[in-house]
Amino acid sequence: MSLERADALLGASLIIALAAVGSALVSQHVYDIMPCPWCALQRLLFVLVALAAGLGLLWRSRLGGRVGALLGLVLADLGVITALWQHFVAAQSASCNLTFADRVMSATGLDAAWPQVFAAYASCAEAKVTLMGVPYEFGSLALFVLINALLLLALVKPR
């Protein structure tokens, strides 16, 4: 795969991940759709995917592209798992206080450092929102799957 093609795949992954966080912030701050701990964890995973893709773009070698793509792929896989867990498990419980997602976000300190981005303001049950009849977390899931496919292509057909 040409350098331009690998860069395009990594760049697209970076842009999609940042757009996902941006749309989540618009949902929260404009439309008052408050995030639960699992939502906040997915935001963190999108940011980490963007950083991994950025690493692959900045590390100008075949190894750099592979490392960035592989790291991003693992993080996107975690995002898929997180979105599915939110929908099928967490959203069915009345409280998601002190769940794995809550503990991870507290451990990072991001919920205190940047509460407008990473703090959870709703329980998992309260955060059950649909957009045109589709659960909101499925939008996140679809973006993680798309990023996964892009990074897999970048990994399988390296620079």
CB 34 within 8 A of CB 116: no
Q: What percent of the chain clears pLDDT 70, i.e. is strictly above it?
A: 94
Predicted confidence at residue 108, as pLDDT, reads 95
**What is the pTM for the complete model shown?**
0.92
- Residues 17-28: tens digit of each pLDDT: 999 999 999 999
Which of the 8 DSSP states describes residue 97?
T
Decide if pLDDT at 115 tops 50: yes
* Domains contained in the chain, CATH given: 3-156 (1.20.1550)
Provide the CA 136 distance to its chain's centre, in angstroms: 13
Which residues are CB-neighbours of 88 under 8 A, at least 6 positions away? none
- Residues 34-49: tens digit of each pLDDT: 999 999 999 999 999 9
What residues form DSSP beta bridges with 135? 130
Decide if pLDDT at 103 tops 70: yes
- Residues 52-65: tens digit of each pLDDT: 999 999 998 888 88
